[in-house]
Structures are given as structure tokens and as C-alpha cells.
Amino acid sequence: MLPEAPGLAELTADERIALLRWMGDTAFSALTAGQLKFGLCRSYAVGSPAAPAMAVVRGFGEPREPMAMGTDVQALWSLLARLPGWDCVNVEAGIGREVASVLEPRLELPSRIVSERIYSLGGEPRNFTRPEVRRLGAADLREVEGSDVLFRSFFVGHGSAARTLSDGVAAGSVSGGKLVSAITTSAWAGLHVDLGAATLPEARRRGLASAAAFLVCSDLRAAGLTPVWVAGEPNIASWRIPEKLGFRLVGRREYVVFDGLRPDGFRPR
């Protein structure tokens, strides 16, 4: 469970929907929008959720990496100062340095900026297949639930692994009764669908993720949806997959990272 935020009111279900509408249906909001739609997060705002000065969304899968929507950096700190357990914040491209200049003196720690690439696919994916990669469905629930923890956050985009397998789209490779590589719809709120990807270290560089992504993207495009792929700039292996399949780079966001925070993250004073 996410730690509670003392003195900070969490958005209600109706307020989450208002925030979702304000964010819009874009490649930049796909992940956060899915979390808001299905209540898979804790969310906060400065001002009206329908037009906030700043909003922060903390997904249950990655609570240490809150997403900030908006550009009012002082408003962002007013929220982060009361949120325990984070060690970085994801912000709009271009404001990372300003965020760092506000947060560093308050935390008394240096930070670093890590860019992340955002891709979307508006056409058909380039064909890429592997015989050991297939679509995953409800019959694969036992293999998914028994697999490495690496996969767990990517299979809760619809509330649970069972619902992701039945209501979402997933593909991957199973070996020895466990997943070794998988791509899933990790967040789905509108036309733009965020994809989650994971491959065990020993199964990498075999094209498994690319083949799984091809199957998932083919199904999403057939349904008139736009797959979205997000990858940190240093993670070259990750962003090569969408480029291989024909995705287009549409922009970036930035992480402001504080490596010196305590092991359990920030704690309000």
C-alpha cells in the first residue's frame, strides 16, 4: 500500500475523472489516465481538478515515481512536501531544471535529470515474429501469477492480472511454466494505450519483446487504438523496440531524480 499523505486530501472518484478530462487523451497522458480511470493510484491537485495549477498522480505499481501534470513548480513542491515515499518526480519536458532548483535546497540534496522518450504508433506495426512468442489470455493466469516480480506491475493495468488477461491485450513467451518476456496494455483510458514491457535478463537479445509488441500492437491497431511506448533515454534496448516496429517519437518528459534520499524515500518533516 502507498503511504498516507498527512494533511493532504486525496482526489475523489469524480475529481479523478475531472482531472482525466483536463489532461486529455494523448500519448503523454496514456499511463496516468489509465491509472485515474481505474483508481489504480492516489492523486492530488492544487486548485480545481478540472483545471489545476498542478496535479500529482502516484500509481500503485511505481509509488516512488509520482507523475506531475502541470508547470507550476511551487505548487508541485506544496504537494510533494506532504507525500512520503518518493525519490524522483516525472515532469513535463523543459521544467526539470526549474523543479531541481526548487527542490534541491529544500531536500538539501543534489539531483540529476533523466529524459524519457515517448513514442506512438499511428499505422500498422512492422512485422516481427518469433515462434516461441504468442498471445496471452485467461488460460495463462497461473503462469503470470507465478512469474518473476518484474512482470507484476505490468499486469495490473485493468485492476488485476486476471482482468488484464481477459479485458486487455497481452503477448509473450512462456518457458518452464513461467513468463520470460511479455508486453501488456498497462494503462488504457481512451484511444491512447500505454504498453508495459519486461523480459528476464537471461532471455534478452532474442527478439522476444519485439515479437510480443508486434502482436499486441497489431490487435490494438485493428481496434482503432494508438499504442504508446515510453522508455528512459538511457534504456537504449527499450526504445529500440518501438523504433524497430515503426513507432514515431512524439516527445519527451523528464525525471528529476534524488539518489541521496533514504532507502524508503522522502519523509515529510
Domains of the chain: 13-116 (3.40.630), 134-252 (3.40.630.30)
Q: How confident is the model at residue 2 (pLDDT cuts 50, 70, 90)?
A: low
What pLDDT shows up at residue 146? Answer: 86
- Check pLDDT > 80 for residue 7: no
Q: Is the pLDDT of residue 66 over 80?
A: yes
pLDDT attached to residue 178: 86
Mean pLDDT of 199-223: 94
Share of the chain above pLDDT 90, in %: 75
Q: What pLDDT is attached to residue 145? A: 86
> Which pLDDT value is given to residue 186?
84
* 269 vs 202, more confident: 202
Size of the chain in residues: 269
**Which amino acid, 232?**
G
Residues 130-152 have pLDDT tens digits of 999 999 999 999 888 888 888 87
Please tell me which of 91-100, 166-175, 203-212 the model is most confident about, judged by mean pLDDT. 91-100
Query: 208-222 and 236-245 helices cross at what angle (nearest 10)?
Result: 50
Q: Distance between CA 162 and CA 197 in Å, rounded?
A: 17
The proportion of the chain whose per-residue pLDDT surpasses 70, expressed as a percent, equals 98
Q: How many Cα atoms are found within 13 Å in the side-chain-facing hemisphere of 148?
A: 15
Among all chains, which residue has been given the C-alpha cell 490487435?
219
CA-to-CA distance for 40 and 17, rounded, in angstroms? 13
Q: Give the SS3 label for residue 140.
A: helix
Residue-wise pLDDT tens digits, 26-59: 999 999 999 999 898 999 999 999 999 999 999 9
Residues 246-256 pLDDT 10s: 999 999 999 99
Beta strand pairing status for 226-232 and 134-136?
Answer: unpaired
What is the structure's pLDDT at 4?
A: 64
**219 — pLDDT class (breaks 50, 70, 90):** very high
- For the chain, the average pLDDT equals 93
**Predicted local confidence at residue 83, as pLDDT:** 95
Question: Tell me, what amino acid is at 46?
Answer: V
Q: What does the pLDDT average to over 114-131?
A: 96
Average pLDDT over residues 62-88: 96
Q: Which three cell numbers stand for residue 206?
A: 532474442
67 pLDDT tier (thresholds 50, 70, 90)? very high
Q: What is the pLDDT of residue 94?
A: 95
Cell 541521496, located at residue: 260
pLDDT digits (tens, 9 = 90+) for 173-191: 998 888 999 999 987 888 9
